[in-house]
Amino acid sequence: MAGTVGGLDVEYCCLRCDSRTDLLPHDKKFLQICESISSHDDIKEILNLGVRVLHGLQRSAAKRLLHIFEIAMGKV
């Protein structure tokens, strides 16, 4: 489970072991990956994934990162 279900916000909860993983650092890596890729199609696909992960979340850090992703998508 991930998202805002059951109190999760930018977290992944493993159903098997019940541990939680913060997804924000992973989403930030998407931006770093985009800096090293030259294909606009690949960059757009990675940015779309980042937007889908962050869309509708409540944490302020997630909202700021979503805004950065949306700005980057406008430049591609």
Domain boundaries, the chain: 23-75
Mind listing the pLDDT tens digit for each residue in 13-51? Answer: 888 888 888 888 888 899 899 989 989 999 999 999 888
Residues 6+ away with beta carbon under 8 Å from 13: 1, 2, 6, 19, 20, 21
pLDDT score, position 7: 59
pLDDT score, position 46: 92
Task: Answer yes or no: are the C-beta atoms of 31 and 70 closer than 8 Å.
Answer: no
Mind listing the pLDDT tens digit for each residue in 52-68? Answer: 888 888 888 888 999 99
As a whole number of angstroms, the distance between CA 62 and CA 66 comes to 6
pLDDT score, position 4: 47
pLDDT score, position 6: 52
